């Protein structure tokens, strides 16, 4: 008897770096409620231009900092009684009407960093500090590359399922209408959170037909860069971040940039290919279940390798989350 509730295996919330905003969307003094990993938080930018993330609710009487909270120097002031909390440590640094600050007056502060056009937070189910990092990409600093264009969408899928797409070459043929499944090679760094897939095929571009290599680099479950190489003196880069909102939804954000000599000829096509590509995946993701032990055939070698690699990003084994804890 096929029923979603019986067939679906709930994935735990993964550990790693996940983007919570585009850098350019958060100005100095901005305060914003955000919700990721099934938790409520507040995101703000201090007067020194540092992006900070704190848990949402004030330890005093429980006001939500994201609704009326105000940046004061490097702190955030609660909208209810004006207590101020340091963005870096989460400790209360000032109570405007009281000298002594209670020891327990602090909120959890999330480790953040800003890189490649995004604000990232480190999520760990056991609150462990960052265990790995990912590189800055030279394209974002290069004046010969275009101002990145952005695209974002909330998708109904667990983050592992959206990532798994990259390791599922056959679906490009059936879901995305590619004529065939191009041969590829995959390389996992030893003991690492990074891997690379390379696919070479002939591609039609507006300025001709080229033998191109699609290079996909992934760091953790939420971060992938796809580069198109093979056009002499030119290149395209799609940088995507996928952040779990809760067990069933993710917030995906993309930055797309290309060498300036490609913007006019291929910029629009590049953007359109991405937006239509994602639309094609939506119905599959929304309606599928997650199988912890899928029946794979001998051609599904990437998928088997990916599942094994993905396990390192969970503090608990897949399938260990009960329905009472939020399983669907
Ligand atoms: S609830 Fe935040 S200061 Fe009172
Ligand atoms: Fe896809």
The answer to whether the 16-123 and 138-313 domains have the same CATH topology is no
Q: How much distance in Å is there from the Cα of 17 to the middle of ligand 1?
A: 30
Residue 59 vs residues 50, 99, 102, 111: alpha-carbon distances, Å: 23, 17, 10, 19
| The two three-digit tokens of residue 129, written as one number | 């500090």
- Beta sheet of 92-94, edge-to-edge order: 70-72, 75-77, 84-86, 92-94
16-123, superfamily in CATH? Rieske [2Fe-2S] iron-sulphur domain (2.102.10.10)
Coil vs helix vs strand at 84: strand
Which pLDDT score, from 0 to 100, does residue 76 have?
98
Q: Which atom of ligand 1 is nearest to the CA of 65?
A: 2
Taking the centre of ligand 2 as the mean of its atom positions, its distance from the CA of residue 201, in whole angstroms, is 18
* C-alpha–C-alpha distance, residues 15 and 126, integer Å: 9
305 vs 142: CA distance, rounded Å: 34
Report how far ligand 2's centroid is from the alpha carbon of 112 (Å). Answer: 29
C-alpha 104 to ligand 1 mean position (Å): 13
Domain boundaries, the chain: 16-123, 138-313
Answer CATH for 138-313 from 3.20.20.100, 3.90.380.10, 3.40.50.300, 1.10.357.10 = 3.90.380.10
**pLDDT digit string, tens, across residues 124-169:** 999 999 999 999 999 999 999 999 999 999 999 999 999 999 899 8
Kindly give the number of the ligand 1 atom that is closest to the alpha carbon of 63. 1
Condensed to tens digits (0 to 9), the pLDDT of residues 15-42 reads 999 999 999 999 999 999 999 999 999 9
Point out the residues of the chain with pLDDT beneath 70: 1, 191, 319-328
Among 72, 77, 78, which residue has the most ligand 1 atoms within 8 Å of its CB, making it the best to mutate?
Answer: 78
CA distance 73 to 85: 10
Q: Using H for helix, E for strand and C for coil, what is the string for 180-224?
A: CCCCEEEEECCCCCEEEEEEEEEEEECCEEEEEEEEEEEECCCEE
């Amino acid at each position: 008897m096929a029923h979603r509730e019986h067939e679906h295996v709930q994935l735990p919330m993964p550990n790693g770096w996940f983007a919570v905003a585009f850098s350019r969307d958060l100005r100095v003094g901005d305060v914003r409620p955000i919700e990721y990993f099934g938790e409520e938080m507040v995101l703000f930018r201090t007067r020194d231009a540092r992006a900070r993330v704190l848990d949402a609710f004030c330890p005093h009487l429980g006001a939500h900092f994201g609704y009326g909270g105000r940046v004061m120097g490097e702190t955030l002031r609660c909208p209810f009684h004006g207590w101020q909390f340091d963005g870096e440590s989460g400790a209360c640094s000032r109570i405007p009407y009281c000298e002594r600050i209670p020891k327990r007056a602090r909120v959890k502060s999330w480790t953040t960093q800003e890189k490649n056009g995004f604000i990232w937070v480190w999520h760990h189910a056991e609150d462990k500090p960052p265990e790995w990092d990912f590189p800055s990409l030279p394209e974002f600093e290069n004046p010969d590359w275009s101002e990145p264009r952005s695209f974002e969408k909330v998708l109904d899928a667990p983050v592992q399922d959206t990532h798994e797409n990259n390791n599922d070459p056959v679906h490009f043929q059936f879901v995305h209408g590619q004529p065939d499944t191009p041969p590829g090679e995959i390389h996992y760094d030893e003991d690492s959170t990074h891997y690379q897939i390379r696919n070479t095929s002939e591609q039609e571009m507006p300025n001709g037909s080229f033998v191109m290599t699609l290079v996909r680099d992934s760091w953790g479950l939420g971060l992938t860069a796809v580069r198109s190489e093979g056009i002499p003196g030119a290149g395209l880069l799609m940088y995507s971040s996928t952040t779990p909102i809760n067990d069933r939804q993710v917030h995906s954000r993309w930055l797309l940039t290309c060498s300036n000599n490609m913007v006019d000829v291929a910029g629009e096509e590049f953007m359109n290919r991405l937006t239509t590509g994602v639309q094609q995946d939506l119905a599959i993701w929304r309606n599928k279940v997650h199988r912890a032990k899928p029946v794979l055939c001998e051609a599904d070698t990437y998928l088997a390798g990916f599942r094994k690699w993905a396990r390192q990003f969970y503090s608990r084994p897949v399938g260990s989350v009960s329905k009472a804890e939020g399983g669907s």
